[in-house]
Structure 1
Amino acid sequence: MAGRNGRTVRDLRRANRGAVLQRLYFDGPLSRFELGPATGLSSGSVSNVVADLIGDGLVEEAGSVDSDGGRPRTLLRVTPVSGHMIGVDVGETRVRVELFDLTLTELARAERPLEQQRYEVDVIVDHIHAGITEVLAAAGLAPERLLGVGIGVPGIVEHTPDRGAVVHGQTIGWDAIELESLLRNGSPLPAGVPCFIDNGARTLGQAEMWFGAGRGARNALVVLFGSGVGACLVTPEAEHGRAVEWGHLTVRVRGRRCRCGALGCLEAYAGAESLLARWREEGGRVPKGADEETALTAMLAAAYPPDGTAADPVALAVLEETAEYLGAGLSDLINLFQPERILVGGWAGLQLGARFLPAVRKHALSYALRHPAENVTIELGSLGPDAVTVGAAILPLADFFARGGRRPDPDPESPPPAWRRALRERTPR
């Protein structure tokens, strides 16, 4: 029966279970007494929900603490082995697949290198399938026990009702790739295990906001600095984050050609790919045949020699110019969204790290409007190179919480109704 607000008793139970699970997940172990104020539920509701979750194997006892004059209070926590997720990062140099338990402790990982600047869809699909099979075998886990698989990819992800997740990756040559459908073909997973696909910057942002340097911030931007650049905006209105194609803001009219095809994009000046290209054009000695990560390491060593020898002036000048472009790009984000925190991640951001950030911060604050600039901090993300895979694994975890800790019902193996088939046939492709 639905109440006046349209919510059924089942909806209420699901919301209560989700509230208790999330509080135990982020703040546990907690006692039943502490769960009441933390969730806003009555003591009776907390007791009922906890009993339900313990019966489902999702919550377990974790010792006790003394109370003020009464009996010791039993502490509760989420059971780590009660659920498992896989996170996948389709990166610029490799496909990384990681298996996690419910508390996001890594259990196994697999990596498949990508040839430089090559994003063949079939190859990446095969890498994901092989990586999933490998991590499940390494952990001895049956695929049916997964809550889901989350995948972070470059580009804009469109979620469609009939084709699943469709990826528009203009910079990597993906034109409306029906990635979810392709992954389902020949998948090592049963049909009941859901697949969640989203932009890699958004999964990075989700990870930093849940577990990293973004915790506690209401308005934040998480920047992914790799071969290109992207960002994830987190606000009270978009609490799970919204991918922002920041790298394709125009920073110079009739400027360098970006890999998206346009002229003067930020990514044409601030991404690692363009940074290395500019060093090469100015006579820099980029290691032959090296991937971008290795080449950027060589460039940093040339600009900041560890042995105290003279710096390569070309490498240093290109890095300093890149810092200014990145800072100017961040100033646009500051003026547009007025965040309280900006976090820089991605493999190139981590490599450049603390040495590079002060210059980026100086330029960002000098180009931005004074008031929002005075109220923002710019720091490195804290989760390291696994942030995208952790964020990708959060996608099925967040869905699990939204369902109150219940797995999704399997899709019925029945054909769509006649009206839906007719509508599809009449819809132009």
Structure 2
Amino acid sequence: MAGRNGRTVRDLRRANRTAVLQRLYFDGPLSRFELGPATGLSSGSVSNVVADLVADGLVEEAGSVDSDGGRPRTLLRVASGSGHMIGVDVGETRVRIELFDLTLTELARAERPLGQRRYDVDVVVGHIRDGVAEVTETAGVDPGRLLGVGIGVPGIVEHTPDRGAVVHGQTIGWDAVPLEELLRTGSRFPDTVRWFIDNGARTLGQAEMWFGGGRGARNAVVVLFGSGVGACLVTPEVEHGRAVEWGHLTVRVRGRRCRCGALGCLEAYAGAESLLERWREEGGRPPTDTDEETALTAMLAAAYPADGSTPDPAALAVLEETAEYLGAGLSDLINLFQPERILIGGWAGLQLGAGFLPAVRRHAAAYALRHPAEQVTIDLGRLGPDAVTVGAAILPLADFFARGGRRPETAPEGPAPAWRAVLEERAPR
């Protein structure tokens, strides 16, 4: 039965379960007494919800603490083994697959190098299928008990009603690739396993906002700096983040050709791929027959030699120019969205590291409007190279929380009898 605001009793129960689960997840262990003010629920509602979650195996006791003059209070926490998720990062040089328990403790991982055919759709699909099968077998996890498989990919992800997630990855040659449909076809997983596919910058942003440098911020931008560049925008209106194709803002009219085909994109100056190409054009010698991560390491070593020898002037000049272009690109984000924080992640961003940041901050402040520039901090992300994978695993976890910790039920054939829906609404909890 729906109330005046359109919410049913089932909606209210789900919201209460979500509130308790999330509070225990992020701030636990907590006692029932502490859960009341933390969630805004009455003591009776907390007791009912906790009893329900304990019965479902989602919450367990975690010791006790003394109270003021009364009996010790039992602490509660989320049961780590009550759910499992897989996170997949389709990166520039490899596909990384990780299996996590409910508290995002890694249980198994697999990596598949992409090689020369790195964005061949059949190759990527095969790597994902094989990798998710490998990690579940390694950890001995029943695939049917997974909360889902989250995947971070380059490009724009369109969620369609008939084909699931479709990827428009212009920079990697993917034109409306029905990735979810391809993964489901021939998968060794049961049909009940759900696939969550989104842009890699958004999964990175999700991870940093939940567990990294974005915690506590209402407005933030998380930048993915790899072969190309992208960003995730988080605001109160878009609390789970929205991927923005920041790398394809025009920063120079009739400039360098970007791998998307356009001229003058930020990615043509700030991405690792273009950075290495510009070094080569200026007379640098990136190592051949190796991946971009190794080549960028060599470039940094040439520009900032550890032995105190003379730096490679070409490498140094390209890196300094890159810092200016990146700072100018960040100034656009600052002027448009006025974030509290900007976090730079991705393998290339982390390799460039803290020594690169002062120049980026200086250029961002120079190109941005003064007031919003004074309000923002620019730092490196805190979660390291696994951040995209962790963020991908958060996609099924967030969905699980939104459903109050209940797994999706297999849809029955035909409509449910009306009397069953009424009884379910009236059933005490």
Aligned CA RMSD, in angstroms, stands at: 0.9
Equivalent residue, structure 2, for 1:298: 298
SS of structure 1 residue aligned to 2:190 = coil
Q: Is 1:212 matched up with 2:215?
A: no
Residue type matched to 1:309 in 2? S
Equivalent residue, structure 1, for 2:20: 20
Q: Is 1:139 matched up with 2:131?
A: no
Mapping 1:325-344, distance limit 5 Å: 325-344=325-344
Give distance in 2, aligned partners of 1:150 and 1:118.
Answer: 20
Equivalent residue, structure 1, for 2:359: 359
Q: State the Cα distance separating 1:413 from its structure 2 match.
A: 7.1
Residue 167 of structure 2 contacts residue 176 of structure 2 at CA under 8 Å; is this kept in 1? yes
Residue 222 of structure 2 contacts residue 344 of structure 2 at CA under 8 Å; is this kept in 1? yes
Q: Is 1:88 matched up with 2:88?
A: yes
Residue type matched to 1:346 in 2? G
Equivalent residue, structure 2, for 1:384: 384
More displaced stretch, 50-59 vs 351-360: 351-360
Structure 1 unaligned segments of length 5 or more: list them: 415-429
Mapping 1:158-173, distance limit 5 Å: 158-173=158-173
Give distance in 1, aligned partners of 2:253 and 2:117.
Answer: 26
Mapping 1:179-190, distance limit 5 Å: 179-190=179-190
Residue 116 of structure 1 contacts residue 291 of structure 1 at CA under 8 Å; is this kept in 2? no
Residue 338 of structure 2 contacts residue 376 of structure 2 at CA under 8 Å; is this kept in 1? yes
Q: State the Cα distance separating 1:188 from its structure 2 match.
A: 2.0
Residue 192 of structure 1 contacts residue 411 of structure 1 at CA under 8 Å; is this kept in 2? no
Residue type matched to 1:325 in 2? Y
Q: Is 1:48 matched up with 2:44?
A: no
Give distance in 2, aligned partners of 1:355 and 1:219.
Answer: 25
Q: Is 1:3 matched up with 2:6?
A: no
Residue type matched to 2:253 in 1? V
Q: Is 1:250 matched up with 2:250?
A: yes
Give distance in 2, aligned partners of 1:95 and 1:169.
Answer: 16
TM-score (norm 1): 0.96
Equivalent residue, structure 2, for 1:149: 149
Q: Is 1:394 matched up with 2:398?
A: no
Equivalent residue, structure 1, for 2:199: 199
Mapping 1:227-376, distance limit 5 Å: 227-376=227-376
SS of structure 2 residue aligned to 1:242 = strand
Q: Deviations over 1:1-57 (max 9, x none)?
A: 111111111111111001100000000000000000000100000000000000000
Q: State the Cα distance separating 1:357 from its structure 2 match.
A: 1.1
Give distance in 2, aligned partners of 1:315 and 1:17.
Answer: 55
Residue type matched to 2:223 in 1? V
Mapping 1:54-73, distance limit 5 Å: 54-73=54-73
Q: State the Cα distance separating 1:101 from its structure 2 match.
A: 0.2
Give distance in 2, aligned partners of 1:283 and 1:409.
Answer: 61
Residue type matched to 1:220 in 2? A
Residue 282 of structure 1 contacts residue 314 of structure 1 at CA under 8 Å; is this kept in 2? yes
SS of structure 1 residue aligned to 2:115 = coil
Give distance in 1, aligned partners of 2:411 and 2:245.
Answer: 34
Q: State the Cα distance separating 1:186 from its structure 2 match.
A: 1.1
Q: State the Cα distance separating 1:189 from its structure 2 match.
A: 1.3
Tell me how many residue pairs correspond in the alignment: 414
More displaced stretch, 260-269 vs 188-197: 188-197
Q: State the Cα distance separating 1:88 from its structure 2 match.
A: 0.2
Give distance in 1, aligned partners of 2:116 and 2:305.
Answer: 26
Q: State the Cα distance separating 1:411 from its structure 2 match.
A: 4.7
Structure 2 unaligned segments of length 5 or more: list them: 415-429
Residue type matched to 1:98 in 2? E
Q: Is 1:174 matched up with 2:174?
A: yes
Give distance in 1, aligned partners of 2:253 and 2:360.
Answer: 22
Residue type matched to 2:252 in 1? R
